[in-house]
Structure 1
Amino acid sequence: MSELVISHKNIIDKDTRRLISDRYHRVTKAINTVFWNINSDSKNSLYVGSYGRDTAISTSDVDILVVLPRSKYDQFNLHKGNVQSQLLQAVKNAIETQYPRSEIRADGQVIKINFFDNIKFEILPAFRKIDFFGNPLEGYDYPNTNMGGNWEATNPKAEQKAMRDKNNNTNGLYRDTCRHIRYIRDTYFSSYHLSGIVIDSFVYDAIGDWKYVENSESTAKKGDYEKRLLNYFIQINTLGRVNLSSPGSNQSVETMNSIACLEKVLTKMAI
């Protein structure tokens, strides 16, 4: 039997959200104290990833971007060796001042914190982009320690705005679909990989003109929407390759490791 889209509102309860908020502010304060020399628990940070896009249904990964002074970017670039790894280590040391007993490690682009209650944070240190004259631009540069180290770009605010607008224009169907796909993934295909940004980017394109309407206004049959999603996937799937760009930022999304699971999930929803 097909698993049709249903609402998954408030799936992360208020007490958990309150706990996440408390830890978010403590991490932010640690970064501001060490890198900005200010005593603020709110400046220079934002939720990103699925939690920041409000499409998450679990706390397996709460992603936070922390903004560092651009002068630190120039400073670390003068170092020898893998400067991105050195930067992650410095941010890790700052966070350990707030959570000395938690499991904290640097991994690739982020610092991971595994709390005793299975809530996991991933902290992405980043620098606001600037133009040739030092004026701030939209988006951020962040470190990738892999392959000897390099800098990559992200624009989470543009993504969040695009997805928020899409959700408003579909009367909430966009987020319900993104959350439902996560629910099917976690319930039936948990051994497979399917990233949140692949889900959210795919639904953004696949949803087309669909939206929630009053029953008296609808001409669709039960299951038509889910079949639309599967058919769209089949249409854009070329020999196991699907090209997606993140909404708002238009940055290319890595899909290779997620396609098999996405197809299974969409099939489970539609057939």
Structure 2
Amino acid sequence: MSQSVYKPKPNVVQALFGRTKAVIGVIHSLPLPGSPHYDGDPVERIYAYACAEARRYAEGGVDGLIVENHGDIPFAKPDELGPETAAVMSVMTDRVRREAKLPTGVNVLANGVIQALATAKAAGASFVRVNQWANAYVANEGFMEGKAGLAARYRAAIQARDVAVFADVHVKHGAHAIVADRSLTELTRDAQFFDADAVIVTGQRTGDSAQLDELETVKTSTSLPVLVGSGVNPDNVAAIFGYADAVIVASALKHDGGWWNEVDPDRVRGFMDVVRRARA
């Protein structure tokens, strides 16, 4: 019998969350040590804030969480991040996972996939989000190169192959003109070819909705699960679930709809009511 180079991948959304049409809430952390707006507060305050956000999400009924260092804006490129970022993210993610008792992921901005994998390994997290896994583009932070080859080898070296990679395709906050000869279909295929476990579709910036035609293109271009990673709200989630296996949502669940605000429990409950109807 011949042997294939690649083994079939299970549906990672189903495997992690026990369902498709899953909802993943985002914890936007306070500024971490080493970032421009860190004011010297004890790190315990950072951890307590993240855990309080996790409780609000969990009590509202979301299926999973992802921890992001969004308070570190303006973001630095991966090789400009100090070790303190991964160190604090590791403790924070571990506390969030234990507090919420939900599958938990990590996103280290900007595009810090090595740091995210190290954090996930230390914290027992289930997945990482990578804004540029394959190819390259011009981001707010400058030229951003996909590090799939290096990251996949690092993941294997630290025995973290159980940590799934959720890779953005045509990610927000950037220009893709340098790979303009690669269509959205080909960019999606590239992410799968470079061994991502799921792909993510976004709008142009945080809080902007993904376009349904782009979502449909991505869905028909891959056998991997497809997630929407920005702009999901009660008005569009049913239509999005016509194509997506899961959504990553934050702004619509925050007070006044601002990503920088705390999670609003009433918004979470209302959103999950809409999701339950959409699932039915």
| Structure with greater contact order relative to length (CA < 8 Å, sep ≥ 6) | 1
Greater radius of gyration (CA): 1
Same fold (TM > 0.5): no
Shorter-chain TM range is under 0.3
Under a length normalisation based on structure 1, what TM-score does the superposition of the two structures give? Answer: 0.28
